[in-house]
């Protein structure tokens, strides 16, 4: 069945007429979601160790993973295609949305390659698209990677968004990016999940804007940074509509070496 387990209790199967099957008392499917800023695989111990990142991921048996700060064939990470390598190590499907090309100019020191967000999935990815987000005052280009995923044992696809918002103190770019993300999702029907490093806190105007369309998996802060002794939550998993995705569990991982962020993990029941 894979990591999404559909538990069936008290199944009553009746053969009627020409073989019609009726099943009763099915417990809803569960969906396991991980959000992780991997810092291009570089840990706080200064070791570049992508297999270590993969072990963190696989230990949770997630259905879908949002990854931020992912390199693709960049010199600082030994020209490794990190999205493809993480897909190989985790045995998951992957899509990648590049937002920065390290081909020269202010990024010339990196010697080429790309950088952005990735989505790993244990279920078929039907389609995907990378949306560029607003960029003010010559900051890093940011984006939101959208994937339509069709989980096993469920009748409709899930729209999954992975993003990483601007890190600078002024919140204008984050706030305007939140508006863009909300406009994107307004055009999508059904179940949706947004997971990423939002570089803002749960009471910020960025999150207030997002909460016009989304519900955070956790209502009270679950700090994710600084990694050694977290005091602020800037990494979030948000859902819509909340009556279709019931939060079973949400927690921040205790792992504090593999990256400069702690990962956040949630389990949902799909209704």
CATH number of the domain at 86, please. 3.60.10.10
Tell me what pLDDT residue 104 has.
60
pLDDT classification of 14: cutoffs 50, 70, 90: very low
Q: For the chain, what percentages of helix, strand and coil (3-state, to nearest 5) are there?
A: 20, 35, 45
Residue 130 covered by a domain: yes
Domains identified in the chain, total number: 1
pLDDT tens, 24-69?
445 679 999 999 999 999 999 999 999 999 999 999 999 999 999 9
Full-model pTM: 0.90
Cα 23 to Cα 20, 102, 154, 237, 269, distances in angstroms: 10, 54, 15, 33, 19
pLDDT tens, 87-119?
999 999 999 999 999 976 566 567 789 999 999
Residue 189 covered by a domain: yes
DSSP state for residue 269 in the 8-state scheme = E
Residue 23 covered by a domain: no
Cα 49 to Cα 98, 197, 245, distances in angstroms: 21, 21, 34
For residues 131 and 184, give the distance between their C-alpha atoms in angstroms, rounded to a whole number.
Answer: 9
Say yes or no to pLDDT of 269 above 90. yes
Helical segments of 187-241, H only = 205-210
Residue 12 covered by a domain: no
Residue 9 covered by a domain: no
Residue 101 covered by a domain: yes
Residue 18 covered by a domain: no
pLDDT tens, 194-247?
999 999 999 999 999 999 999 999 999 999 999 999 999 999 999 999 999 999
For residues 206 and 238, give the distance between their C-alpha atoms in angstroms, rounded to a whole number.
Answer: 13
Tell me what pLDDT residue 109 has.
65
Residue 209 covered by a domain: yes
Tell me what pLDDT residue 17 has.
38
pLDDT tens, 137-150?
999 999 999 999 99
Tell me what pLDDT residue 237 has.
99
Structural domain of residue 217, as residue ranges? 32-270
How would you write 146-172 as a 3-class SS string? EEEECCCCCCCCEEEEEEECCCCCCCH
């Amino acid at each position: 069945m894979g990591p999404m387990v559909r538990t069936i209790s008290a199944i009553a199967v009746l053969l009627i007429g020409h073989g019609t099957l009726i099943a009763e008392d099915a417990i809803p499917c569960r969906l396991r979601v991980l959000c992780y800023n991997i810092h291009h695989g570089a840990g706080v111990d200064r070791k570049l160790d992508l297999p270590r990142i993969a072990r963190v991921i696989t230990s949770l048996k997630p259905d879908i993973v949002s990854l931020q700060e992912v390199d693709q064939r960049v010199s600082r990470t030994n020209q490794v295609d990190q999205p493809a390598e993480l897909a190989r190590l985790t045995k998951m499907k992957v899509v990648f949305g590049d937002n920065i090309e390290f081909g020269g100019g202010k990024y010339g020191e990196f010697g080429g390659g790309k950088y952005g967000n990735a989505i790993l999935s244990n279920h078929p990815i039907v389609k995907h698209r990378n949306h560029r987000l607003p960029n003010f005052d010559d900051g890093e280009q940011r984006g939101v990677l959208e994937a339509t995923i069709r989980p096993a044992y469920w009748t409709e696809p899930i729209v999954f968004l992975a993003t990483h918002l601007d890190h600078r103190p002024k919140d204008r770019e984050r706030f305007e990016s939140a508006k863009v993300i909300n406009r994107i999702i307004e055009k999508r029907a059904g179940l949706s999940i947004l997971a990423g490093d939002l570089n803002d806190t749960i009471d910020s105007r960025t999150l207030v804007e997002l909460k016009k369309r989304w519900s955070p998996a956790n209502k009270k802060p679950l700090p994710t940074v600084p990694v050694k002794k977290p005091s602020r939550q800037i990494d979030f998993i948000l859902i819509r509509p909340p009556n279709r995705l019931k939060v079973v569990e949400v927690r921040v991982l205790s792992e504090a070496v593999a990256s400069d962020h702690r990962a956040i993990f949630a389990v949902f029941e799909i209704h």
